[in-house]
Chains A and B, each alone.
Chain A
Amino acid sequence: MRWKFIIPFLVFILIIVVFVTFFLDGIVESIVEERASLFNRAKVEIENLNIGILRPGVRIRGLAMANADNPWRNMVEVGDIEISVSVVPLFSKKVIIDEMVMENVRVNTERKTSGELPRRLRKRLRAKDREEKPAEVPCVKLPNLDVFKKKFSVKELVDINRLESVKRAKQLSEDVSKMKSRWESELKGLDVKAKADEIMTKIQGSLESLQKAEIKGPADLLRLQGDVKNLREATGALEGLREEIEAKKSAFKRQVATLEKSLKEEMKRIQEKDLQAILKDLGLEQLTKVRLAEAVLCPFFGKVLNFIWNNVDKIRTAMPKTGKDEPVQIRIRAKGRDIIFPSIKKGPDFLMREARLSMEQERWSLKGTIKGVTSDPTSYGKPTRIDIQGKRPKLVLNGILDHTGEVPIDTVSLDLRGYQLAGFAFAENPLSLSNITRGFLDLKANLALKGDSIDLKTRTTVKNLVLNFSEEGKENLMVTMVKEAIRKAPSLSIGLAATGTKDNPQLSISSDIDRLLARQLKSFAGKKVKVLKASLGVQIDGASGKEMKGFSDSLSQGKLDILNQFGSDESLVQGKIDLLSGVMASKTGKSKAPKKGKEKGLEGILPGLISR
């Protein structure tokens, strides 16, 4: 053995150990801080990180995750994290965490410095942000009762140019002229005069010979049988033409009548819509169906939904369904070639078997486990399970994140009782609510995310509620009313249901305070709104009435014009029929000309004469 080489070798090993002891921790710490900060969108700081060599694992002390929405507060702070890692899998590029223990977890703590990301990381985040689009949750508005506080002119509220009824009435006059020209072209298409003249020209010879002939008996009639037949056919053709005109005329009358009737109904509907639109602008749409809880909490829950979606997306990206094994590939490398063999999956590349956490804070005393967090759920074959129990407040949180199948299914259920709401700060809201002075919350929530669709149902009961309003809302009548409602009913329940997908979210929030408030609103503003509605109705009617009058005039005129044309055509045809009938009658002794084809005319008389 060559000791003079073994000793330097051992020294070399010692240098590595010293490097690991003094420098590796710092390097890993800064990498973890940077990656986690980007993930969290706010600073993540670690007080101390130790990588254990003899007892393989990582120990983190003083982890603080700043709140991206409020950088002066920490979202989570963890006192100690101990991670035990299996060594052997590391050589196969697999990280298997046997156990992770998180102690002294605290939430929403104060920070001494801002948790905003440094400019360098913000730039990197901005590039990422361009790809992410937050879901937009539609929210309802609250009635604006302040409209009654000052004198206002109803005329000013009605903007004629925005009224749909006026637009429709204007459009109707155009529709009438279009209809008129269509019927005129239909009449032209009939070409009654030309057709009648053609029929008459054909029988001109027969008519003249019949006019000149004297019929004294059946023998004369038999002689003129051909002419009589021609006249009879011509009369039939003219009657057909007259019937055609009558059918068109009836169709026209029907169309006009339907138009008049439906337009009246349509205009009423549009005028009602106009009225509702103006009331909506004023926030006075439906006093009896006011949704106070939704108006106040919708922006907050919108944020919650976005938070769920963004984090579920992140979790699903980190825990995807494994793809199929790669086929054998050959990759050129320097002068040689790398033969890439298929990988046999013997478990996932990352697995955290169990994480235990405990939290002791003024308002929180929780303990729980998270089991089976993995980068490859299909290969692991088990879903991730979350079980957290709390003493203060009483809490049971169960979650199953099942990404083992084709469609990822995440379900979380929460049962929370007696949570102190004091200090809860409201986000921007129409009631100028700043925070909760006192109140206790019971919450039951069930969340199911199957693929892209969400199904969230929560039932919340708030007891002994005392709200704190900001100065801005002092003069707001609605705020006064809500204060009164809360004073009367300090306990209320709120139901929330969220369905749909990220692109099309549906959120509905209902509360028993809504009914109470609706009653108050009705008694306070019911009459006022009724009067306002009536005045607005008159204004809208007046505005669209002018246009409607124009429409009625043009419709009457158009109707008259078309009916006159039908009348003249009818007269023309009737004149010809009368002429022919007169000739026939004079020869057969019948004086009365048939008015309509169905009446007994020549068709009835001639066969009798002939058979005599």
Chain B
Amino acid sequence: MIWLKIIGKIFRILNAEATPKQIAGAVTLGMIIGLTPTFSLHNIVVVFLILVIKVNLTAAILSMFAFDLVGYGVDPLSDWFGYTILTSSALRPFWIEAYNAAIIPFTRFNNTIVMGSLIISLILLYPVFYLTKYGVERYRSDLAAKFQHWRIVKAVKMSRLYKYYQTYRSITG
């Protein structure tokens, strides 16, 4: 049921009025929260941005959960990446300054996973945004109509389970 709900949500997002940019922005911001440890100061800023900027909320939440799962797998890489950056002798004076500055220490930047995952998510920022935007545009222009004719989609739509879901949707709104 939950998977159907998620798939349904994805299709609703793809077919919704939200522009591809809004969906791509939401996925990108959700990715940052998902990849980095949830309770970090920078994530408050990201959540604030999600709430204030007109991005698709559902997409952001789904992206957050999706990338959270990815994050578990990426943690060893984030740890290595963060450790390399934080112990780099060239950057050491900068880190010491930041460590002794106001507010910055509250971001837990000196944690290898926080630093590594944040850098990874910043690197992935543009590719994820671009790919999502491109994907949504391609889906809407080429795939949406074809997709409705796929046998599997038809089968799902014909299934009793889907009807139950539709009824549930109409009740819950």
Contact = CB atoms under 8 A, between A and B. Distances in A.
Interface of A: 1-2, 5-6, 9, 88-89, 91-92, 333-344, 346
A5 B100 contact: no
Given A335-B75, A335-B113, A336-B111, A341 B53 contact: no
Contacts of A344: 96-97, 100
Contacts of A338: 108, 110-112
A2 B87 contact: no
B114 A336 contact: yes
Given A1-B52, A92-B102, A336 B113 contact: yes
A326 to B, nearest CB: 11
Interface stretch (B2-10, B78-86, B138-146): B78-86
Nearest to A337: B112
Interface string B100-131: 11110000101111101000000000000000
Instruction: Give the bracket for the number of chain B residues in contact with chain A.
Output: 20 to 34
Interface of B: 37, 48, 51-54, 75-76, 78-79, 82-83, 86-87, 95-97, 99-103, 108, 110-114, 116
Given A1-B52, A333-B111, A344-B96, A339 B102 contact: no
A341 B99 CA distance: 7
A337 B83 contact: yes
- Which secondary structure dominates chain B's binding surface? helix
Contacts of A343: 99-100
A322 to B, nearest CB: 15
Contacts of A342: 96
20 contacts: A5-B52, A92-B100, A92-B102, A92-B103, A335-B113, A336-B111, A336-B113, A336-B114, A337-B79, A338-B110, A338-B111, A339-B83, A339-B87, A339-B111, A341-B95, A341-B99, A341-B110, A342-B96, A343-B99, A344-B100
A88 to B, nearest CB: 6
Given A2-B51, A2-B52, A334-B113, A339 B86 contact: yes
A89 B52 contact: no
A335 B100 contact: no
Nearest to A344: B100
B110 A340 contact: yes
Given A343-B100, A346-B100, A5 B110 contact: no
Contact of B110 (A6, A91, A339): A339
B102 A336 contact: no
B85 to A, nearest CB: 10
Contacts of A2: 51-54
B161 to A, nearest CB: 34
Residue from the set B53, B113, B116 with the largest chain A CB neighbour count within 10 Å: B113
Nearest to B95: A341
Contacts of B54: 1-2
Contacts of A335: 75-76, 79, 113
Residue from the set A1, A335, A343 with the largest chain B CB neighbour count within 10 Å: A335
Given A2-B51, A92-B103, A333-B111, 19 more contacts: A1-B52, A1-B54, A2-B52, A2-B53, A2-B54, A6-B52, A335-B79, A336-B82, A336-B114, A338-B108, A338-B110, A339-B86, A339-B95, A339-B110, A339-B111, A339-B112, A341-B95, A341-B96, A342-B96
A333 B108 CA distance: 11
Contacts of B102: 88-89, 91-92
A9 to B, nearest CB: 7
A335 B54 CA distance: 34
A343 B110 CA distance: 13
A333 B52 CA distance: 33
A1 B51 CA distance: 9
A337 B111 contact: yes
B133 to A, nearest CB: 20
A338 to B, nearest CB: 5
Contacts of A346: 100
Nearest to A335: B75
A92 B100 CA distance: 7
A346 B116 CA distance: 29
A9 B51 contact: yes
Nearest to B98: A341
A96 to B, nearest CB: 12
A256 to B, nearest CB: 85
A335 B101 CA distance: 26
Nearest to B109: A339
B99 A5 contact: no
Contacts of B75: 335-336
